């Protein structure tokens, strides 16, 4: 069990940024997921960690970081047997700029929230397990 975070990025039109994990990733390669995730360094705030990972993974700057699922936690096992067991607060931020790193992200797309929910419901195996679980939790709110 370890501490992580997850961030959903939206644009001015309210669309959600989806990223497809690079095929070289050791866990869940090639699945579609939220904008980015990461792990805060010791004594690093979530705000600083999110800014660091946003820049590293997507070459983006974000603003208006807000918690949307502060108590989110999940456990999932990848097909390779790697276990993710995380306390993983979920945040939402607004995009300023986008330049993805190819070793982190192979593709990206902007999608309307309703279309995202429909896609995940139709083919949950194509998405990261944490995104599927986050959307289930967010369905209880106004996401």
List 37, 57, 84, 88, catalytic entry: 37
**Active-site residue 88, yes or no?**
no
List 57, 84, 86, 88, catalytic entry: 86
The helix (H) or strand (E) run that includes residue 113 is helix 113-122
Distance between alpha carbon 105 and the CA centroid of its chain, in Å?
12
First CA to last CA distance, the chain: 27
- Edge-to-edge, what's the strand order for the sheet holding 83-87? 2-3, 83-87, 73-77
The helix (H) or strand (E) run that includes residue 94 is strand 90-95
**Active-site residue 37, yes or no?**
yes
Residue pair 113/143 in contact by the 8 Å Cβ criterion: yes
- Please identify every residue annotated as catalytic: 37, 86
């Amino acid at each position: 069990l370890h501490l992580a975070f997850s961030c959903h990025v939206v644009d001015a039109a309210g669309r959600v940024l989806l990223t497809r994990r690079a095929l070289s990733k050791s866990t869940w390669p090639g699945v579609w997921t939220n904008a980015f995730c990461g792990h805060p360094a010791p004594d690093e705030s979530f705000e600083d960690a999110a800014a660091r990972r946003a820049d590293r993974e997507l070459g983006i700057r974000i603003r208006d970081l807000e918690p949307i699922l502060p108590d989110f936690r999940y456990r999932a096992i990848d097909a390779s047997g790697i276990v993710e067991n995380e306390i993983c607060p979920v945040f939402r931020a607004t995009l300023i700029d986008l330049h993805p790193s190819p070793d982190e992200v192979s593709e990206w797309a902007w999608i309307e929230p309703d279309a995202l929910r429909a896609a995940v419901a139709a083919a949950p195996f194509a998405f990261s397990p944490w995104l599927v679980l986050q959307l289930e939790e967010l369905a209880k709110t106004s996401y």
